[in-house]
Amino acid sequence: MRLDAGISVRCIDRLYRLRRHASRSRQHEDRSKEQADVTAGARRYRLPLLASALLLCGVIAWRVLILPAPLAFAGGHQVELAAYPGRNPTGVPPELDGADVVTRGKYLTEAADCMACHTAKGGHPFAGGRPFKLPFGTLYTPNITPDRETGIGAWNDMHFLRAVHEGISRDGTRLYPAFPYASYSLMPDADVLAIRRYLETIPAVRLANRPNSFGFPYNQRWLMAVWSGFFNPGKPFRPIAERSAQWNRGAYLVEGPTHCGECHTPRNLAQAMDTRNKFAGGVAEGWNAYNITSDRDSGIGDWKPSEIAAYLKSGHAHGRGVASGPMAEAVELSFSKLTPSDVAAIANYLRTIPARRTNDTPKAAGPAPGQPSLGAGYSGNGARIFADACSGCHAWNGAGAMVGEAQLSGNRAVNDATAANVALMILQGAGTPGTPRRFMPSFRQSYSDKEIADVANYVTARFGSKPSTVSAKHVGELRHE
């Protein structure tokens, strides 16, 4: 029995061990099966996951890198200039048909506003040195007077064409697209060379170019070759056969020489004009260059063509507002010098740009009450400063005391929820010095950043449809623009 018992104990023990072993190996089997399942699962999903990731990257790259051509929105067939049956939309307007090449070149130089960028404050025209502050440093424009050593006097026509069309300097260095060659590449050789003939007649100025202050990797100019490959259309303007001669003339001027989109079109990740949101609003030297699509609330869809023309010619459209900052400069040096037929062509073309609604530019509010104590937020610092420094010229209802240019209600700047342009006008002043009707002094010295933010926020709350919350910090940044 004892033996039996001993055997049976051993038996049980063995059986037990066998069971444990079996169950352990089963567990092991289960675990490796699980693992195999997981691996098979992962393998099953790895491919689709990889494919989706690649697809996502592809879509993002495609959205950023492949943009619609400037006239893609218009449909129709683009034809070579020679094949277009109407008047040639490039060159000069009919008023200048018989003019010599230098006169035509001067007109095109003004239309392209070469002088604005290539002249420093108080400096010689076209001698360069104007700073452009970019997020990664400051870029200075070069001297394009006929000086042989410091200007472009020693360049031949081919060098000049390559610079204006492709953004390549005489020595082969790539130029940054702050020089709007992506727009200028639409100008045919004849127009660019007419500009060259005019530039040869201006006084040569000896002034060396200032180097930019970019650090690595932004100082790698060769990268601009890649940029140009994607974003410079690089082909001269081709009219749309189905459209009128006036429409094509407007398209040529707006997309090419006058380069409205360089300021008014938002930029994408690669700093290229996002032509999917053509003219939906961009930024120029700290100023908001507003939505000029045909949206009725956010854009200029309810401006009459005559109002657009008046704004471009004189910098003021009654009841719509005045042009300030970079737009005032473009009006003064460029758009005011265009012939009436060209201004009409621009206004007509702008109306055909597809409407885009934007959040920061809501429908403009109507006039404010005439009583100071009525209306939005009549209290605090902002109201006090407005009473002291602004109400005399602008009136409490915003209609402007005496002159239409001083009307505040209804204009875009006071209906812009960022209030950046209002703050900049207070800092820099507005209008043309020496013309009392159109002059607003600068308050840079009189008020602190906080006071300017307070009065700007008061102005948008009282006269606009959406009160702004511009901060003293932002005003401080704008002070250095």
- Considering only residues 160 to 179 of the shown chain, the ones binding ligand HEC according to CB under 6 A are 163-164, 169, 175-176, 178-179
Nearest to 253 by CA among 116, 111, 77, 85: 111
Stretch that binds ligand HEC, among 67-75, 225-233, 391-399, 472-480 (CB under 6 A): 391-399
Residues numbered 322 to 341 that lie near ligand HEC (CB under 6 A) are 322-327, 330, 335
Cα(432)–Cα(2) distance, rounded to whole angstroms?
A: 122
Residue with token string 């492949």: 66
* Pattern 57-96, ligand HEC, x by CB under 6 A: ----------------------------------------
368 scored as a contact of ligand HEC (CB under 6 A):
no
| Bond preceding residue 217 cis, omega within 30 of 0 | yes
Closest to ligand HEC by CB, 164 vs 475, is: 164
| The binder of ligand HEC chosen from 71, 127, 152, 309 (CB under 6 A) | 152
Measured over the CA atoms of residue 402, residue 317, residue 330 and residue 221, the dihedral's sign is positive
470 scored as a contact of ligand HEC (CB under 6 A):
no
249 scored as a contact of ligand HEC (CB under 6 A):
no
Nearest to 144 by CA among 189, 202, 88: 202
Stretch that binds ligand HEC, among 38-46, 66-74, 368-376, 430-438 (CB under 6 A): 430-438
Residues numbered 175 to 204 that lie near ligand HEC (CB under 6 A) are 175-176, 178-180, 184, 195
| The binder of ligand HEC chosen from 161, 190, 403, 417 (CB under 6 A) | 403
CB of 192 to ligand HEC, least distance (A): 7
List helix spans (H) across 207-366.
223-231, 245-255, 260-264, 305-314, 325-333, 340-350
413 scored as a contact of ligand HEC (CB under 6 A):
yes
CB of 328 to ligand HEC, least distance (A): 7
443 scored as a contact of ligand HEC (CB under 6 A):
yes
| The binder of ligand HEC chosen from 114, 251, 272, 395 (CB under 6 A) | 114
425 scored as a contact of ligand HEC (CB under 6 A):
yes
287 scored as a contact of ligand HEC (CB under 6 A):
yes
Q: What is the b/e burial string over 199-237, where b = at least 16 CB atoms within 10 angstroms of the residue's CB?
A: beebebbebeebebebeeebeebeebeebbeebbbeebb
Closest to ligand HEC by CB, 99 vs 161, is: 161
Closest to ligand HEC by CB, 79 vs 399, is: 399
In the 8-state DSSP scheme, what is residue 87?
S
In the 8-state DSSP scheme, what is residue 82?
G
Stretch that binds ligand HEC, among 28-36, 241-249, 305-313, 470-478 (CB under 6 A): 305-313
| The binder of ligand HEC chosen from 389, 465, 467, 476 (CB under 6 A) | 389
Residues in CB range of 347: below 8 A, 6 or more apart: 250, 305, 306, 308, 309, 312
Closest to ligand HEC by CB, 264 vs 278, is: 264
Cα(310)–Cα(264) distance, rounded to whole angstroms?
A: 19
Max distance between CA atoms of the chain, in angstroms, equals 134
Stretch that binds ligand HEC, among 13-21, 136-144, 232-240, 369-377 (CB under 6 A): 136-144
107 scored as a contact of ligand HEC (CB under 6 A):
no
Identity (one letter) of the amino acid at 268? N
Stretch that binds ligand HEC, among 5-13, 56-64, 308-316, 468-476 (CB under 6 A): 308-316
Closest to ligand HEC by CB, 79 vs 319, is: 319
Closest to ligand HEC by CB, 116 vs 241, is: 116
Closest to ligand HEC by CB, 258 vs 277, is: 258
Residues in CB range of 343: below 8 A, 6 or more apart: 309, 312, 313, 335
Helix (H) or strand (E) holding 461: helix 449-463
129 scored as a contact of ligand HEC (CB under 6 A):
no
In the 8-state DSSP scheme, what is residue 125?
T
Residues numbered 261 to 280 that lie near ligand HEC (CB under 6 A) are 262-264
Measured over the CA atoms of residue 60, residue 62, residue 64 and residue 68, the dihedral's sign is negative
Helices (runs of H) and strands (runs of E) counted in the chain: 17, 8
Are the beta carbons of 262 and 183 closer than 8 angstroms? yes
| The binder of ligand HEC chosen from 260, 272, 383, 478 (CB under 6 A) | 260
Residue by residue, DSSP assigns 219-247 as T-TTHHHHHHHHH---S----BTTS-HHH
Residue with token string 């200039």: 81
| The binder of ligand HEC chosen from 280, 310, 453, 455 (CB under 6 A) | 455
Closest to ligand HEC by CB, 244 vs 381, is: 381
- 398 — alpha (psi -120 to 50), left (phi > 0) or beta? left
117 scored as a contact of ligand HEC (CB under 6 A):
yes
Residue by residue, DSSP assigns 387-448 as IIIIHHHH-TTSS-SS-GGG--TT-TGGG-TT-HHHHHHHHH-EE-TT-GGGEE---TTTS-
CB of 134 to ligand HEC, least distance (A): 10
Closest to ligand HEC by CB, 78 vs 119, is: 119
Cα(325)–Cα(425) distance, rounded to whole angstroms?
A: 8
